[in-house]
Amino acid sequence: MVDPLVMQGRLDRLWTSLEDESLDAVLFVDPANIRYLSGFSGSESLMLVEEGRRTLLVDGRYKEQALREAQNADVIEYGDKVEGIIEILKQKGMGRIGFESPSMTYAQYMKIRKGLPQELEMVPLERSLLFLRARKDKGEVAFLRRAAAIAALALQKTLAAFKSGMTEREAARLLDWNMIQEGGERPAFDTIIASGPNGALPHARPGSKSLAEGELIVIDYGVLLEGYNSDESVTVALGPPSVEARHVYEIVLEAHDRAIEVIRPGVLCRDVDATARGIIEKAGYGSNFVHGTGHGLGMQVHEAPSVSRKSEDRLEEGMVITVEPGIYLPGRFGVRIEDSVLVTADGHEIISCTSKHMMTL
Amino acid sequence: MVDPLVMQGRLDRLWTSLEDESLDAVLFVDPANIRYLSGFSGSESLMLVEEGRRTLLVDGRYKEQALREAQNADVIEYGDKVEGIIEILKQKGMGRIGFESPSMTYAQYMKIRKGLPQELEMVPLERSLLFLRARKDKGEVAFLRRAAAIAALALQKTLAAFKSGMTEREAARLLDWNMIQEGGERPAFDTIIASGPNGALPHARPGSKSLAEGELIVIDYGVLLEGYNSDESVTVALGPPSVEARHVYEIVLEAHDRAIEVIRPGVLCRDVDATARGIIEKAGYGSNFVHGTGHGLGMQVHEAPSVSRKSEDRLEEGMVITVEPGIYLPGRFGVRIEDSVLVTADGHEIISCTSKHMMTL
């Protein structure tokens, strides 16, 4: 259970961020935000947040769980979700409510809109909610650290079992199993194990290709624990890699290390990206770094802030971001090196636990 | 790879279902629909479908994969997703396009809308796309059967290892691991193992409670394979159950069996629900059956048709639905029994592989 004072702090911050909107309430549909603001961990519900009051709407499948988990919220069972929320909004006689426009679907919006009196205003909220969960409190950081530690233990065990001839899929299964064995709830996302030329696909799915001597293997994986995700990537060599592979690895590692060095409160996220990208560009591989340098990490694997070329986000104490530069050489190989990093009062702390020096198995 | 004729059939059915809408194109955002209509299995993309032409928009992370997987589609890399699609829609000079209103978020819609010339109409599509994937072709049924068989093998192995004192979480981990070991890609959804009083929570999360002698254990689990999901629930007893537990089990089994018996093309889904519900109500447990009887199953764990009290959907050959009545007695125990069932030309075939007679471990 989240400390009641911490929970109250989250609600207070919500209302502070919405001060200018003069809202009577906010309607939440995103399960991560609902969990963050109530403790309820079910995957389907609606929550109406007024100042000083939260109303959680669930269907029969989740009622027991909601009564058990939701901290200080009224739990109401609905038959039909949209009808349920319309009825409550009418009963409460509200004038102006906000909603999560990046989570509510167009169809949900239209159904709710049609059921409400015209004078009730529905205000789309995007930017003002984007950073709701961005600054992690101590309890959250503890979960993120523990998830990262479990992940690293699982990786160690898995790497020890890697051998030439094992398929990527077998290797990914083993890593998934070890994450669960070490205490994770489940993998945070579809584990990537991409060897040789497959490493040039940033989001490759592990397949029937076998791990082969002399190839690089990109591993991107994470653990889910109590609603929080870890996210880390390593690139390892199965037997001595080529001179070129070593060279590319060192460039990516340099980009990764230098980008992490600049992390502290007040820094623009795009400057973190520019640091990593500058090193890769200078080495002549700019067009082979085909994604942003990183992203916020927490209850969702990708959340605010964005650590990309055009990001206008600024780092604040308590944010947790990934730093994951990569170089992808289509048809040949790829390298990605990723750590999750906590922004501290005066700098940063890496919370991933695996050394990023080149590892040859 | 999907047979090109089958793929063409899917596209033809799409256009037939949209005949009345006079659309120039349909914009897809749902990864399941995009995979169904192109073969591309990445989790983030946009696809514009015109008659005779598909354009798949991906970011740098997915370009290689899209080029490899997408059958007969133009692959375009975008920097910003919304800007990318706006540019293409303008270039093509379209007048009227449809979009998936239950998948597109309100924020996405507004951004695209604002970027387009006013005269370009955007038509929300819900009902007309709901059944796009509902009737499974032979290849799909083969994947669904294989996923179900893998799941059953994993369940057998797992049940053999159940013992008093093992926690629900350990049991769920073991089942997850066995699903992967037997050839599944990953669990289709968060595995439910709920023992004793936890069984009264239809969507319980496996926790630190130990399995105990004499209690019922509800297990709801599935395997993901090549994009297709299995879904099955069993309720087993660890040691001889109480007379009441046996009695409740037999009622749910009767509801399950009779509901399956009525499945054939032309039957209303709500009549399948009514059959199961009628038996449970007659036995005096009507208020303890707190969810619908089932749902369609395929690339998503829950898809059309809906098998619930108010459903107006009608069964057609090739649909695959779950039948999963349950009785939940808060604070005491629960029973749910679920099979996945294929609607055949003249009746049905159960594709789940585990016998539903009461099992005492």
Q: What is the pLDDT along chain A (361 residues), one digit of tens a residue?
A: 899 999 999 999 999 999 999 999 999 999 999 999 999 999 899 999 999 999 999 988 888 889 999 998 999 998 888 899 999 999 998 999 999 999 999 999 999 999 999 999 999 999 999 999 999 999 999 999 999 999 999 999 999 999 999 999 899 989 998 998 898 988 999 999 999 999 999 888 898 899 999 999 999 999 999 999 999 999 999 999 999 999 999 999 999 999 999 999 999 999 999 999 999 999 999 999 999 999 999 999 999 999 999 999 999 999 999 999 999 999 999 999 999 999 999 999 999 999 999 999 9
In this structure, are residues A43 and A65 in contact, taking their beta carbons and an 8 Å threshold?
A: no
Spell out which chain B residues touch chain A, with contact meaning CB-CB distance below 8 angstroms.
Answer: 41-43, 59-65, 99, 101-110, 124, 126, 173, 176-177, 180-181, 186-187, 190, 200-205, 290-291, 330
What is d(CA B46, CA B61) in angstroms, rounded to the nearest whole number? 14
Q: What pLDDT sits at residue B93?
A: 87
Q: What's residue B214's pLDDT?
A: 94
d(CA A39, CA A22): 26
CB < 8 Å to B290, chain A: 59-61, 63
How many Å is the maximal CA-CA distance in chain B?
71
* Shortest alpha-carbon distance between residue B344 and chain A (Å): 30
Q: Using CB atoms, pick whichever of B60, B177, B181 lies closest to residue A180.
A: B177
Is B65 in contact with A201 (Cβ distance < 8 A)?
yes
Cβ(B201)–Cβ(A42) below 8 Å: no
**What stretch(es) of chain A map to CATH 3.40.350.10?**
4-130
When pLDDT is averaged across residues B300-329 and rounded to a whole number, the result is 97
Whether omega for the bond prior to residue B305 falls within 30 degrees of 0, making it cis, is yes
Query: What's the gap in Å between the CA of B247 and the closest CA on chain A?
Result: 22
Which residue(s) pair with A93 in the sheet?
none
**Residues on chain A touching B126 (C-beta within 8 angstroms):** 107
**Pairwise CB contact (< 8 Å): A291 & B181:** no
φ and ψ of B151, to 5 deg: -60, -45
- Starting at the edge strand found earlier in the chain, the sheet holding B232-237 runs B192-195, B216-221, B232-237, B359-360
Give me the DSSP letters along A25-46: EEEE--HHHHHHHH----SS-E
pLDDT at A79 (0 to 100): 81
**Measured distance CA(A81)–CA(A86) in Å, rounded:** 9
In the block, residue with structure tokens 């604002």: B114
Provide the shortest C-alpha distance from residue B259 to chain A (in Å).
Answer: 20
For the domain B138-360, what is the CATH code? 3.90.230.10
- Contact in structure between B226 and B180 (CB atoms under 8 Å): no
How far apart are the two ends of chain A, measured CA to CA in Å?
42
Q: Is the pTM of this model over 0.80?
A: yes
Nearest to A317 by CA among A136, A128, A139, A140: A136
- Determine the distance in angstroms separating the CA of B209 from the nearest CA of chain A, rounded to an integer: 15
Q: Comparing C-alpha atoms, which of A269, A258, A264 is closest to residue A347?
A: A264
* Residues 6 or more apart in contact with residue B248 via CB below 8 angstroms: B285, B327, B329, B333, B335
Q: Residues B235-253, buried b or exposed e (16+ Cβ, 10 A)?
A: bbbbeebeeebbebbebbb
| C-alpha span between A155 and A354 (Å, rounded) | 9
B105/A102 Cβ within 8 A:
yes
Residue of chain B whose alpha carbon sits nearest to that of A173: B180
- What φ, ψ does residue B129 adopt, rounded to 5°? -105, -10
Identify any residues that bridge with A228 across adjacent strands, giving them in sequence order.
Answer: A225
pLDDT in tens, B131-149: 999 999 999 999 999 999 9
- What is the DSSP track for B4-34? HHHHHHHHHHHHHHTGGG--SEEEE--HHHH
**Residues of A with Cβ-Cβ distance to B103 under 8 angstroms:** 105
How many contacts (CB atoms, under 8 Å) link A and B?
100
> Amino acid identity, residue B292?
G
Nearest to A274 by CA among A345, A331, A212, A323: A323
**Do A204 and B104 lie within an 8 Å CB cutoff?**
no
Distances from the Cα of B253 to the Cα of B229, B249, B259, B260, B359, angstroms: 23, 6, 10, 11, 12
* pLDDT tens track for B49-86: 999 999 999 998 888 889 999 998 999 998 888 899 99
Euclidean distance between CA atoms B154 and B26, whole angstroms: 40
A186/B176 Cβ within 8 A: yes
Which residues in chain B have their CB less than 8 angstroms from residue A205's CB?
A: 41, 65
SS3 track for A196-217: HHHHHCCCCCCCCCECCCCCEE
Are A295 and A322 in contact by the 8 Å Cβ rule? The answer is yes
pLDDT of residue A344: 98
A225/A298 Cα distance (integer angstroms): 10
Q: How confident is the model at residue B173 (pLDDT cuts 50, 70, 90)?
A: confident
Give the one of B103, B126, B180 whose C-beta lies nearest to A176's C-beta: B180
A136 Rama class: left (phi>0) / alpha (psi -120 to 50) / beta: beta
Substitution target from A27, A59, A64 for chain B, most B beta carbons within 10 A: A64
Cβ contact, residue pair A105, B107, below 8 Å: no
pLDDT value, residue A57: 96
Residues of B in contact with A62 (CB under 8 A): 202-203
Q: What is the pLDDT of residue B115?
A: 95
Mapped onto helix, strand or coil, the DSSP state of residue B38 is: helix
Residue in B with minimal Cα distance to A200: B64
Strands (E), chain A: 25-28, 46-50, 53-58, 74-77, 96-100, 121-125, 186-187, 192-195, 216-221, 223-225, 228-229, 232-237, 294-296, 303-307, 320-323, 326-329, 333-336, 339-344, 347-350, 359-360
Q: What is the pLDDT of residues B4-50, one digit of tens each?
A: 999 999 999 999 999 999 999 999 999 999 999 999 999 899 999 99
CATH code of the region A4-130: 3.40.350.10
Closest-CA residue of A relative to B181 is: A173
Compare CB distances from B64 to A60, A61, A330 and report the shortest one's residue.
A330
End-to-end CA distance of chain B: 42
Candidates A67, A69, A105: best to mutate against B (most CBs of B within 10 A) is: A105
Q: Which of B63, B107, B201 sits opposite A65 (nearest CB)?
A: B201
Whether A173 and B187 lie within 8 Å, measured CB to CB: no
* Separation in Å, CA of B34 to nearest CA in chain A: 17
Instruction: Give the confidence band of B204 by pLDDT, cuts at 50, 70, 90.
Output: confident
Q: Decide if A124 and B109 are in contact by the 8 Å CB cutoff.
A: no
Q: CB–CB of B268/B312 below 8 Å? A: yes
Delimiting residues of CATH 3.90.230.10 domain(s) in chain A: 138-360
Q: Scan for tokens 């696809």, then name that residue.
A: B47
B66-75, B177-186, B300-309: least confidently modelled range: B177-186
